[in-house]
């Protein structure tokens, strides 16, 4: 008898999502239209705090639009963490600016706020923290540094729905822009998709224009009453980053389940925590007191006392039918970033050490307590 393979992640798509997608398909309106508009309105009211939400076809697109709207360009520097997905940094290069990478804090696995201060130069324009695994970065001190130095902050919240920092939902903090991801394995999904959120009307206006070819919708709306609807004005060489109504149809219903999903993930994470007590495993950092952790990922580290290598551990898990992953291969190890920005592991001792010992275990809402028990049993065998 063989047990089925337990994947590292799986989306949970319900009948409501399916019915809404079918409704969009039958309506004849498949690209950006009423569903995308509704998803944006729902998302803004989900977060509250008077934010505007702009739906895009990926978080990468949203991060690009956000940084563009902040006025970042050639010659500028943007500080971010090495311990992230390449999308966080590649959008800095899209704009011809240079990323300046800093290490992470071992207690949060998020950007080391003290290191940020030391990385600021006269060219620094912005900071992009990442809420790693769904645990908020240390936003209070980071926002204070940004304010002291006149820098903009854009949060990479790809993992962070719903996450709170200081009791406030990520997306409603005092940063300029926050971007969420709805990629297939994220906490809610539209297949591919993202949401740019801001309270700054000027940034919102610019992002809306640049999201769709640099077409000025204000001009369009202003004149639609007077001239035929074919009229529009292009005011910049924009991008093609709009979200389709097919994707938004999923998003509308995924968003309604965001808190239920978070609760489920939190319960699964607690089961892991409990089971790993006493094992040579470093459990993931908890949220700060009273804050919500979205638990996008459950990231362990093999303790220094374990002689088994990380790669071997993952292999042994795979042999037992368990899918694992690694978050992340830090950017300083990837050829493009390493060679062009002269990065070495010695510059990022915390990230490097974590990378060598880190494993992300399966964590998704359709997992059962039994699945967790299977993973735990496999971990024990692998460590033996
Ligand atoms: C997934 C992810 C992104 C990119 O999201 P997409 O929607 O796939 O573009 C960016 N940053 C981080 C940290 C991510 O995990």
Sequence-ordered strand ranges (E) for 186-250? 194-198
Number of structural domains, the chain? 2
Protein residue with its CA nearest to atom 15 in ligand 1: 158
Per-residue pLDDT, 49: 95
Domain containing residue 305: 259-383
Question: What integer pLDDT is reported at residue 221 of this predicted model?
Answer: 56
Residue 219 reports pLDDT greater than 70:
no
**Which CATH number characterizes residue 124's domain?**
3.40.640.10
Per the rule left: phi > 0, alpha: psi between -120 and 50, beta: everything else, 75 is left
pLDDT of 19-56, one tens digit each? 999 999 999 999 999 999 999 999 999 999 999 999 99
Whole-angstrom distance, CA of residue 43 vs CA of residue 255: 7
Does the residue 47 lie in any domain? yes
Residues 338 and 192 in one domain: no
What are the distances in angstroms from CA 362 to CA 43, 163, 217? 27, 20, 43
Instruction: Specify whether 223 is located in the same domain as 235.
Output: yes
Predicted TM-score (pTM) of this structure: 0.97
Instruction: Decide which of 236, 256, 276 is a domain's last residue.
Output: 256
Per-residue model confidence as pLDDT tens digits over 284-334: 999 999 999 999 999 999 999 999 999 999 999 999 999 999 999 999 999
E-strand stretches of 142-247 = 152-156, 164-165, 168-169, 177-181, 194-198
Q: Is the CB of 87 under 6 A from ligand 1?
A: yes
Is residue 2 in a domain?
Answer: no
Bridge partners of residue 360, in order along the sequence: 299, 325
Confidence of residue 218 (pLDDT cuts 50, 70, 90): low
Q: Which two tokens stand for residue 187?
A: 């906490």
- CA–CA separation, 164 and 151 (whole Å): 22
Question: Which of 80, 81, 83, 85 to probe ligand 1 with, by most ligand atoms within 8 A of CB?
Answer: 85
346-361 pLDDT, tens digit each: 999 999 999 999 999 9
Please work out whether the CB of residue 190 comes within 6 Å of at least one atom of ligand 1.
no
pLDDT tens digits along 155-177:
999 999 999 999 999 999 999 99
Q: What is the mean pLDDT of residues 192-215?
A: 98
- Whether residue 10 is contained in a domain is answered as no
- By annotation, the residues acting in catalysis are 186
Q: Alpha-carbon distance 349 to 354, whole Å?
A: 9
């Amino acid at each position: 008898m063989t047990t089925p393979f337990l994947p590292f992640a799986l989306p949970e798509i319900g009948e409501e999502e399916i019915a809404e997608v079918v409704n969009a398909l039958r309506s004849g309106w498949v690209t950006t239209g009423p569903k995308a508009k509704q998803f944006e309105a729902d998302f803004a009211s989900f977060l509250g705090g008077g934010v505007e939400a702009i739906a895009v076809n990926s978080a990468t697109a949203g991060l690009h639009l956000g940084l563009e709207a902040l006025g970042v360009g050639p010659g500028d520097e943007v500080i971010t963490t090495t311990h992230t997905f390449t999308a966080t940094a590649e959008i800095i290069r899209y704009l011809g600016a240079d990323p300046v990478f800093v290490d992470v804090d071992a207690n949060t696995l998020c950007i080391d706020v003290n290191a940020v201060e030391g990385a600021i130069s006269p060219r620094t324009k912005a900071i992009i923290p990442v809420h790693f695994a769904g645990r908020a970065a240390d936003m209070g001190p980071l926002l204070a540094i940004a304010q002291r130095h006149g820098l903009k902050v854009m949060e990479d919240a790809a993992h962070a729905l719903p996450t709170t920092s200081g009791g406030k939902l990520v997306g409603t903090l005092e940063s300029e822009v926050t971007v969420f991801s709805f990629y297939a394995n994220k906490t809610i999904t539209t297949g591919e998709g993202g949401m740019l959120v801001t309270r700054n009307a000027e940034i919102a206006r610019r992002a809306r224009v640049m999201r769709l070819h640099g077409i000025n919708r204000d001009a369009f709306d202003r004149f639609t009453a007077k001239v035929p609807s074919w009229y529009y004005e292009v005011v910049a060489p924009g991008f093609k980053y709009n979200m389709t109504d097919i994707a938004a149809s999923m998003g509308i219903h995924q968003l309604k389940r965001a808190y239920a999903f978070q609760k489920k993930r939190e319960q699964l994470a607690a089961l892991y925590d409990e089971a790993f007590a006493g094992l040579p495993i470093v459990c993931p950092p908890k949220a700060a007191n009273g804050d919500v952790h979205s638990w996008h990922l459950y990231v362990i580290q093999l303790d220094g006392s374990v002689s088994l290598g990380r790669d071997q551990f993952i292999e042994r898990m795979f042999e037992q039918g368990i899918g694992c992953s690694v978050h992340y291969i830090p950017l300083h190890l990837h050829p493009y970033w390493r060679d062009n920005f002269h990065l070495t592991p010695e510059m990022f001792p915390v990230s490097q050490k974590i990378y060598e010992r880190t494993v992300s275990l399966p964590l998704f809402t359709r997992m059962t307590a039994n699945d967790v028990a299977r993973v735990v049993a496999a971990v024990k065998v692998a460590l033996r």
